[in-house]
């Protein structure tokens, strides 16, 4: 079975460098918030094109701390999409803010600027655009609306490491942005990890306080803070993988182009172009039957995500919110295998299996 994601393949592709980085940390005797974290933070900030990077325990914490650091009070509202990992809305809720979920654009799979326009009703709200599947949201319109309505933009870049919009890296548009380094991401650790990035000295300082008990001086809390730290081992591994990120993303784009050519005449809805393809997502009205047929042919798939957040029990209103584009998208989406280590033979087999299965369902 060809899996839809394969983080072990990423390790094996860079095994010698990663093993050396792990050995370096093990022998250093410094395992928490040391020179590897500092070096990764500097390197990743430079890569994104911002002044600061603050490494934390995971992507959810990165978004939560970004909200808390950028907006250090409670009781407001943040607009985001329901078509995302639950972590997006969970982080907003944990930060003490009320999420307002809006629909996605039917062709771009990211926040619909028209839906955003309708919900930006008061100054001081904040916006969390999600660059889903590595596809950048419409940051030109989002930033214009934010400026007009005095809103704050905090980007969710958990699936979009290295993606660009109009020649600018995602993560560098808003006042802050959050990244996840979960092992399956385009830039993945060998465990949990995350980071927030920002050009603001004040937000960066606040985030560093929040990630470790509010300490400026060890064991003395200036503010209430928690514990969310990127460890030295993961930082060292990420430093290795960051050197290969652009090449890995280029490979993902080439795989997507091969898929696009192979599926052009099948009647499938194919993903938008222009991203870095954390996932390659097709739409089919008989998604479950297509998935079963692909599994029988040795092709694994995934459904990221099967239930939109606004319909999940933890976040559903009564009566439930209606987001028709998102709801149809969740019923029809299917993620095909997508990772740089896919061999040409595996890609050919995937293309053949999808063609056969889709044609059989016509």
pLDDT in tens, the chain (362 residues): 999 999 999 999 999 999 999 999 999 999 999 999 999 999 999 999 999 999 999 999 999 999 999 998 666 899 999 999 999 999 999 999 999 999 999 999 999 999 999 999 988 899 999 999 999 999 999 999 999 999 999 999 999 999 999 999 999 999 999 999 999 999 999 999 999 999 999 999 999 999 999 999 999 999 999 999 999 999 999 999 999 999 999 999 999 999 999 999 999 999 999 999 999 999 999 999 999 999 999 999 999 999 999 999 999 998 889 999 999 999 999 999 999 999 999 999 999 999 999 999 98
**Residues of the domain holding 276:** 245-360
- Residue 228 CA to residue 54 CA, distance in Å, equals 10
Where among 242, 276, 296 does a domain terminate? 242
User: Is the domain of 226 the same as that of 255?
Assistant: no
Where among 216, 242, 268 does a domain terminate? 242
User: Is the domain of 346 the same as that of 224?
Assistant: no
- Asked whether the beta carbons of 2 and 341 are under 8 A apart, the reply is no
101-115 residues labelled b (16+ CB within 10 A) or e (exposed): bbbbbeebbbbbbeb
Instruction: Please state the domain count of the chain.
Output: 2
Dihedral over Cα of 223, 227, 233, 237: its sign = negative
pLDDT for 75 equals 65
pLDDT for 72 equals 81
Q: Is residue 154 part of a domain?
A: yes
Q: Output the domain CATH number for residue 354.
A: 3.90.1150.10
User: Is the domain of 195 the same as that of 97?
Assistant: yes
Q: Looking at the DSSP assignment, which residues form a beta bridge with residue 227?
A: 212
**Listed residue (345, 311, 274) closest to 131, CA to CA:** 274
Other C-beta atoms lying within 10 Å of the C-beta of residue 166: 8
- Asked whether the beta carbons of 355 and 336 are under 8 A apart, the reply is no
Where among 242, 259, 294 does a domain terminate? 242
Q: Is residue 1 part of a domain?
A: no
User: Is the domain of 259 the same as that of 184?
Assistant: no
User: Is the domain of 261 the same as that of 346?
Assistant: yes
Q: Is residue 2 part of a domain?
A: no
- Residue 102 CA to residue 93 CA, distance in Å, equals 16
- Measured over all CA atoms, what is the biggest interatomic distance in the chain, rounded to whole angstroms? 66
**Listed residue (318, 311, 299) closest to 358, CA to CA:** 299
User: Is the domain of 162 the same as that of 291?
Assistant: no
């Amino acid at each position: 079975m060809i899996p839809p994601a394969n983080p072990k393949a990423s390790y094996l592709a860079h095994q010698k460098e990663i093993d050396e980085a792990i050995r370096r940390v093990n022998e250093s005797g410094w395992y928490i918030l040391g020179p590897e974290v500092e070096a990764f933070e500097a390197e990743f900030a430079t890569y994104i094109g911002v002044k600061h990077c603050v490494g934390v325990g995971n992507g959810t914490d990165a978004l939560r701390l970004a909200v808390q650091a950028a907006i250090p009070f409670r009781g407001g509202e943040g607009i985001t999409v329901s078509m995302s990992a639950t972590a997006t809305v969970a982080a907003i809720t944990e930060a003490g803010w009320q999420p307002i979920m809006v629909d996605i654009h039917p062709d771009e799979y990211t926040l619909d600027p028209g839906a955003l326009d309708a919900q930006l009703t008061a100054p001081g709200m904040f916006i969390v655009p999600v660059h889903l599947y590595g596809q950048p949201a419409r940051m030109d319109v989002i930033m214009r609306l934010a400026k007009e309505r005095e809103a704050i933009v905090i980007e969710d870049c958990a699936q979009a490491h290295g993606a660009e919009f109009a020649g600018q890296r995602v993560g560098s548009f808003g006042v802050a942005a959050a990244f996840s380094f979960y092992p399956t991401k385009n830039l993945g650790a060998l465990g949990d990890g995350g980071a927030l990035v920002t050009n603001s000295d004040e937000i960066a300082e606040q985030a560093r306080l929040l990630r470790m008990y509010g300490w400026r001086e060890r064991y003395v809390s200036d503010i209430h803070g928690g514990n969310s730290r990127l460890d030295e081992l993961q930082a060292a591994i990420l430093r290795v993988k960051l050197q290969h990120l652009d090449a890995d993303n280029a490979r993902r784009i080439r795989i997507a182009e091969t898929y696009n050519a192979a599926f052009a005449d099948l009647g499938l809805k194919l993903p938008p172009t222009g991203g870095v393809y954390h996932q390659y997502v097709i739409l089919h009205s008989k998604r479950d039957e297509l998935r079963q047929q692909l599994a029988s042919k040795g092709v694994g798939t995934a459904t990221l995500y099967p239930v939109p957040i606004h319909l999940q029990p933890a976040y559903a209103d009564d009566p439930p919110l209606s987001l028709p584009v998102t709801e149809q998208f969740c019923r029809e989406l299917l993620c095909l295998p997508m990772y740089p280590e896919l061999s040409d033979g595996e890609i050919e087999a995937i293309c053949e299996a999808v063609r056969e299965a889709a044609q059989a369902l016509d």
